[in-house]
Amino acid sequence: MWNLSFGFFGVQIAYALQSANISRIFATLGADPHQLSFFWILPPLMGMIVQPFIGKWSDRTWCRLGRRKPYLLVGAIVAVLVMLLLPNAGSLNLSTAYVFLGLNSAMWFGLFSLIFLDTSINVAMQPFKMMVGDIVNEEQKAKAYSIQSFLCNAGSLVGYLLPIFFTWIGIANEAPEGVIPDSVITSFYVGAAILIVCVLYTFVKVKEMPPSETQTASGDKTGLLHLLVKAPRTFWTVGLVQFFCWAAFLYMWTYSNGTLAFNCWGAVTDTASKAYQDAGNWVGVAFAVQAAGSILWATILPRFQNLKLAYVVSLLIGAVGFVSLFFIHDKFLACGAYFLIGAAWAAMLALPFTLLTNSLEGNPHMGSYLGLFNCTICLPQIIAAATGGFVLRLLGGNQAMMLVAAGAFLAIGAIFVQIIDIKHID
């Protein structure tokens, strides 16, 4: 089970670098705070488009490289290539070369790089969840997803801390206006190297079992829309909770940089200033603390006898963490709030897929359903990103209030946990 998910460690480093630095990168390239959420539409949009098809295609794939592994390898290779390009968006003298729809050339370059990066990360990420569903039996599935959750958070820790680590050892954390600091560029380079090594480890170590002829034949004839109509009730009830949870975390990824720079660095808004870039590094530290809190809470979750209670408690702890950030003006206390948010993240990584895959036990369309289920992760992020600028204006431009809204979303999600149907696994 460890080998099965080890590559996820490397994939999550790439995802953590993207999550912690995208707002910082585009703000440095010249994006207005009210534009930032729009850049976050692309990652979940690409996931919603790509993952259902990866699931469906891999359900009916079998070759000498395996069933899910070919997609894993291709996704990782493309992700590595894009990680070498994205942080250089501000270093190509593009900032004032061309402006279209309010975005300069550097932002457009970064935008297209982000599209390819998130598409490739999604292609590489989805096979890990599918292989657990394929290979691990029902009794061990919760343990397998817990291992995957641990490696996910461990990868996040590394990805979040890379920029501040490279700053600490002397790599420049400041750059001319519109240019990404070397500390961030180096982090993406190192993250790319770790990603490909980890994915190759899983690729070599894991042996997939061929699907039956019945499975591949049925997968060939059944459309995604038909599967969606026939999805078990667990799919929809867990998906409703997912909607509020992932909208909350989209707000966290988008507005943490601005919140900490303003609250903890003396109302700093100048993206070229040392203070703003220091705050950007600290976002990585805060997110790393969140990952540490998630790792700790993941060890506590199995102690709950009631899955619904575990879900509710986790989300409410995270809600407290989000709301408290509005009142905190010390960077170390802010880390305490992110530690609490880690409880919600741990539950979001482990419980939904445990509930869903057990309800799909023996289903020949496991990969397709997991791909479709990813829409319950992507769609709320798209909606939150598309409306983020409008909500920010309603809240007076205060980015910290966006995190209060995130806390409210988690609390609503906790309420809807009560309607989840878990009769399939009782």
Measured from the Cβ of residue 159, the count of other Cβ atoms closer than 10 Å reads 31
Report, as an integer, the average pLDDT of 140-155. 77
The structure's pTM equals 0.72
pLDDT of residue 424: 44
Residue 355 Cα distances to 137, 250, 252, 314, 349, angstroms: 14, 23, 25, 16, 11
Q: How far apart are CA 381 and CA 41, in angstroms?
A: 7
CB 142 within 8 A of CB 422: no
CATH code, 2-425: 1.20.1250.20
Residue range 81-97, pLDDT digits in tens: 989 988 887 766 665 55
Q: How far apart are CA 33 and CA 393, in angstroms?
A: 10
H runs (alpha helix) in 136-212: 138-168, 182-205
pLDDT of residue 402: 93
Q: How far apart are CA 192 and CA 212, in angstroms?
A: 36
171: left (phi over 0), alpha (psi -120 to 50) or beta: beta
Which of 134, 188, 192, 137 has the alpha carbon at shortest distance from 166? Answer: 188
Report, as an integer, the average pLDDT of 66-78. 86
CB 70 within 8 A of CB 203: no
**Is a pLDDT exceeding 80 seen at residue 381?**
yes
Structure-token match 């990603």, residue found: 195
Q: Give the start-end residues of each E strand in 42-178.
A: 99-100, 103-104
CB 188 within 8 A of CB 208: no
Q: Which helix or strand (DSSP H or E) is residue 360 part of?
A: none
**Is a pLDDT exceeding 70 seen at residue 267?**
no
Beta strand 103-104 with 99-100 is antiparallel
Out of 96-105, 271-280, 365-374, which region has the weakest mean confidence (pLDDT)? 96-105
CB 51 within 8 A of CB 371: yes
Report, as an integer, the average pLDDT of 98-119. 75
Residue range 202-254, pLDDT digits in tens: 888 888 777 654 344 444 456 777 877 877 788 888 889 999 999 999 999 88
CB 59 within 8 A of CB 140: no
Q: How far apart are CA 353 and CA 129, in angstroms?
A: 8
pLDDT of residue 214: 39
pLDDT of residue 99: 61
pLDDT of residue 426: 38
pLDDT band with cut points at 50, 70 and 90 for residue 326: very high
Report, as an integer, the average pLDDT of 5-34. 82
- Distance linking the first and last C-alpha atoms of the chain: 24
Which of 124, 126, 133, 125 has the alpha carbon at shortest distance from 208? Answer: 133
103 - beta bridge partners?
A: 100
Mean pLDDT over all residues of the chain?
A: 82
Report, as an integer, the average pLDDT of 102-107. 73
Out of 85-89, 105-109, 310-314, 319-323, which region has the weakest mean confidence (pLDDT)? 105-109
Q: How far apart are CA 328 and CA 323, in angstroms?
A: 10
Residue 315 Cα distances to 22, 27, 138, 409, 417, angstroms: 25, 30, 25, 9, 10
Q: Give the start-end residues of each E strand in 12-137.
A: 99-100, 103-104
Work out the angle at residue 216's Cα, subtended by the Cα atoms of residues 118 and 64, and round it to the nearest 5 degrees: 70
**Is a pLDDT exceeding 80 seen at residue 288?**
yes
